[in-house]
Structure 1
Amino acid sequence: MRLLLQPVTRNKMQTVRASVVALFLGKQDDVISLLAKEFPELGLKKENCTELTWIQSVLWWANNDNATEVKPEILLDRNPDSASFLKRKSDFVEKEINKEGLDFLFKKMIEVGKIGLVFNPYGGKMSEIGTTETPFPHRTKLYKVQHSMNWKDPGTEAESGFLGQTRSFYSYMAPFVTKNPRHAYINYRDLDIGVNSHGPNSYKEAEVYGRKYFGENFDRLVKVKTAVDPQNFFRDEQSIPTSSSK
């Protein structure tokens, strides 16, 4: 399940639109019955649901709204001469954001102009797995927040403007998310939170972003890296360092 927040204009008024999207593995009657008990505030109705085959659900997640009519072969239709640009940042929330906080964030979203937020709730089976059982430590958080910015203009001026908007809103989000460190989601790789030059200070540089991504699991990952790739052959701007760089 995802909650999408986006600034929009309705009746010449700027506001924030909230949309809930989800994939349920089962029949629509089952999910309607389930959410009527667990989340009645959503008011889910049959007309809000569409039953799809698995491949149709892939098309739907790929933003093909008419997934029941589009042929799956469209997934092979790639245009190498086209390009789109994006920036992603991420946060984790441990405590509920109150109404005043949400009002503040909605106001700032409208001020920034284009930023979108994607909220993914955690809990359930995810929270039953210990935070140190896998490298992913954020299982007990309330939810993850993706800061989403997309644009088409290839110019450097557009890039600078959209990146600036994203970073500005990221600063507004700071009071409502995890701190010391401000955690981040590894799949939305964000070079703003730290880069490794793989020089003599490699470990210290990696620790900055590594603890944001992996928490206390970072040092265990360093041990694994040192054992399997002691020469640090496989590396990038935010890879795990070896212990020899401490």
Structure 2
Amino acid sequence: MGEGLFWAIRGGGGASFGIVISYKIELVEVPETVTVFQVESNPDEGLADFVYRWQFVAPTTSNDLFMRLHFSHPITTRLEQGSNGTASFQVSIQALYLGKADDVVSLLSKDFPELGLKRQDCTEMSWIESVLWSSPKVLLDRKVVRSPNDTNSAKRKSDFVVNPVSREGLGDILKRVAGQLQFSMAFSPHGGEMSEIPASSSPFPHRAGNLYKIEYVGNWNEAGEKAERAVMTQLRRMYSFMAPLVSKNPRRAYVNYRDLDIGKMSHGKGYRSYEEGKVYGMKYFHGNFDRLVKVKTEVDPANFFRDEQSIPTLPMKL
């Protein structure tokens, strides 16, 4: 298919370039035993300090350890919300370690003693079981049971953090999350091998220099515009509040959380305007955007594969 197209479809938003009907992958080795754990922090013991410390540990600890930080309201809290419109929430760390439980407990007793990880918090299993922290049989079960009234609607937004957020800033974030029952947030650390790969090696550019990715999560099951509007309003307000704390020029975004709020192409221009595409394209791909445009122009000059956030083609005169 050519080096350019092969580069572009591995992270450049496949819908812009065609339909992949087969592929090969190169496997990597993992140990026979991996360890998973989920630890919830005590909401009465300095959450801002806890999250502040996580920022420095998660991106720099062993390459074998991934620790995701999650802010959310417990389901019971959502159902039993007080009349004042606020409720407690929890901060949890969900982790996967490529190794045995005793080793990760020993590692974090040095790197992150604030977590207080104990052997009984950990579960050893095979890697394939860790995919769902369950039985591999779940992966083979194609049956989906849904109620006709279950809409399962969702909205995602994203950010990347390049400088640690201050304790004061994290305290403000926590206060805002505590007062908003309609969404949650997840911090996924970068670092490790992600930072060792050059940003131009694939279209995904968010590598060295990024501490972690933020995912803003909004879900609603009720049909109708009212439920959607409530979630979207809270997400957008939080996203606006976060602007001073995250990456800038451009404010970066993750392409797999497709977000039309950050820019889209107008249908009236045939979804092919370079200037409109550059608005969101630089946020998703920044330094790699123009190379994606070049490949798109070469392999799909008629712009057959297009949508509101596809890679645009260059005008014929260029």
Q: TM-score, normalised by structure 1?
A: 0.88
Partner of 1:188: 257
1:75-154 to structure 2, matched below 5 A, reads 75-79=141-145, 81=148, 82-139=150-207, 140-154=209-223
Q: CA deviation at 1:71?
A: 4.7
Report how many residues are paired: 239
Q: Distance in 2 between matches of 1:29 and 1:173?
A: 38
The reply to whether residue 222 of structure 1 matches residue 290 of structure 2 is no
Partner of 2:105: 32
- Tell me, what secondary structure is at the counterpart of 2:311? coil
Whichever structure has more helix as a proportion of its residues is 1
Deviation string, structure 1 residues 64-104 (Cα, Å, up to 9, x no partner): xxx25x95267422136443011100001111111111111
The reply to whether residue 14 of structure 1 matches residue 94 of structure 2 is no
Q: CA deviation at 1:45?
A: 1.2
Contact 2:205 2:286 in 1 (8 A): yes
**Partner of residue 116 from structure 2, selected from 26, 43, 65:** 43
**Partner of residue 159 from structure 1, selected from 228, 236, 256:** 228
Q: Which amino acid aligns with 2:152?
A: S
Q: Distance in 2 between matches of 1:126 and 1:22?
A: 17
- Tell me, what secondary structure is at the counterpart of 2:177? helix
Q: CA deviation at 1:50?
A: 1.2
Partner of 2:306: 235
Contact 1:115 1:149 in 2 (8 A): yes
Q: Distance in 1 between matches of 2:184 and 2:238?
A: 10
Higher RCO structure (Cα 8 Å, ≥6 apart): 2
Any unmatched runs of 5+ in structure 1? 61-66
Any unmatched runs of 5+ in structure 2? 1-66
Partner of 2:63: none
Partner of 2:239: 170
My pick for the range that moved more, 8-17 or 137-146, is 8-17
Q: TM-score, normalised by structure 2?
A: 0.69
Deviation string, structure 1 residues 200-230 (Cα, Å, up to 9, x no partner): 7711110000000001110011011111111
Partner of 2:68: 2
Contact 2:274 2:313 in 1 (8 A): yes
Q: CA deviation at 1:11?
A: 11
Q: CA deviation at 1:124?
A: 1.5
Partner of 1:202: 273
Q: Which amino acid aligns with 2:227?
A: A
Contact 1:55 1:72 in 2 (8 A): no
Contact 1:4 1:117 in 2 (8 A): yes
Q: CA deviation at 1:4?
A: 0.1
- Tell me, what secondary structure is at the counterpart of 2:96? coil
Q: Which amino acid aligns with 1:143?
A: Y
Q: CA deviation at 1:6?
A: 1.7
Deviation string, structure 1 residues 118-173 (Cα, Å, up to 9, x no partner): 00111111111122222111112111000011111112111111111111111111
Partner of 2:15: none
Q: Percent identity?
A: 51
My pick for the range that moved more, 51-60 or 225-234, is 51-60
Partner of 2:24: none
Q: Distance in 1 between matches of 2:242 and 2:225?
A: 26
Go from structure 1 to structure 2 and tell me whether the alpha carbon gap of 1:217 and 1:71 turns closer, same or farther (over 3 Å shift): closer
